[in-house]
Amino acid sequence: MNNMKNLFFSLILIFCVNEYAMSSIIDEDEMAEEHVAELVKSANNGDSAAQYELGMLYYESDFGIEVDLTQAKKWFEKAAAKGNGDSQYMLGVMYYSGTGVTKNEKLGISWLKKAAKNGSSDAELYLQGMEDPDDTELVQRVTAAKKEYRGKAPKGNAADQYNLGMLLTRYQENDQELIEARKWFKSAAEQGHKDAQFELAKLYAHGGGGDIDIDAANKWYMESCKNGVAIACEKY
């Protein structure tokens, strides 16, 4: 009799747990739909931050929205016209690389320069990568940027850690800097920074800044892929 009671209560418990899990999934879906609806409403009302965020949803695919680069460009343009540096940066990248648009490097650089003037460190880094590495002014700027981000990165901000990693890999002066870059990419990656996850995976895959570790590379490519970096999905 006791066994029957135990079985009965176990079945009830399993049913309740399953019901809770299903309701949690439904709640998450409803929250995602509500978030997108509010975002669209704010974007249509001219909120540049919402326009940028909506553009990113279309650019990377999130909250149930499929990748649509035409829509992404539309919302980036609306926000960029209002001086949103992040949107100007994304337009610069799209035009310079020919992602979702006809490639136009001149227009891409124009948007990147606007973004840099509006405070986009990503745009500044992107522009630095296009210039002559032997240029004295560039060397001075890179040295100053490394110093700045070496001061910021230990404070724990993932974006600062990623930016320092990019500076160290793009403008590597010695082997120690690549080891340092791996350290900061790892710290940012563990905080969920998708681009840092991708860069860390590349270092593990090719032995940059340490030993080759294919398992670790695949792990971080997978995480980066899950977080919306499409090219990472092709790497593992």
Single-letter amino acid, residue 53 = E
Residue 96 lies in a domain: yes
Look up the domain containing 54 and give its range. 2-115
Indicate whether 110 and 142 sit together in one domain: no
pLDDT of residue 21: 44
Please tell me whether residue 50 adopts helix, strand or coil conformation: helix
Q: In this structure, are 29 and 103 located in the same domain? A: yes
- In the chain, the number of structural domains is 2
pLDDT value at position 25? 40
Q: Is the pLDDT of residue 234 over 60?
A: yes
Residue, of 36 and 189, whose pLDDT is higher: 189
Q: In whole angstroms, what is the distance from residue 81 CA to residue 141 CA?
A: 28
Q: Are residues 156 and 220 in the same domain?
A: yes
Q: Which has the closest alpha carbon to 188: 215, 169, 212?
A: 169
User: Are 94 and 156 within one domain?
Assistant: no
Same domain, 101 and 7: yes
Distance CA 68, CA 58 (A): 5
Distances (CA, A) of 34 to 28, 208, 230: 10, 43, 26
Per-residue pLDDT at 68 exceeds 50: yes
Residue 49 has pLDDT above 60, yes or no: yes
Q: What is the pLDDT of residues 7-26, one digit of tens each?
A: 444 545 445 445 544 444 44
CATH value at residue 199:
1.25.40.10
pLDDT digit string, tens, across residues 110-157:
999 999 998 888 888 888 767 655 667 778 888 899 999 999 999 999
pTM (2 decimals)?
Answer: 0.49
Q: Tell whether the model's pLDDT for residue 44 goes beyond 90.
A: yes
Q: How far apart are CA 89 and CA 113, in angstroms?
A: 8
Asked whether residue 87 falls in the same domain as residue 27, the answer is yes
DSSP class of 130: T
Domain-embedded: residue 127 = no
Residues 154 and 99 in one domain: no
Q: For 71-94, what is each residue's pLDDT tens digit?
A: 999 999 999 999 999 999 999 988
Q: Do 140 and 198 have their domain in common?
A: yes
Which pLDDT score is estimated for 219? 96
Task: Report yes or no on 131 lying in a domain.
Answer: no
Q: What is the pLDDT of residues 93-110, one digit of tens each?
A: 889 878 888 888 889 989
For 166, residues 6+ apart whose C-beta sits below 8 A from its C-beta are: 125, 181, 199
Domain assignment present for residue 217? The answer is yes
Nearest to 123 by CA among 92, 158, 153: 92
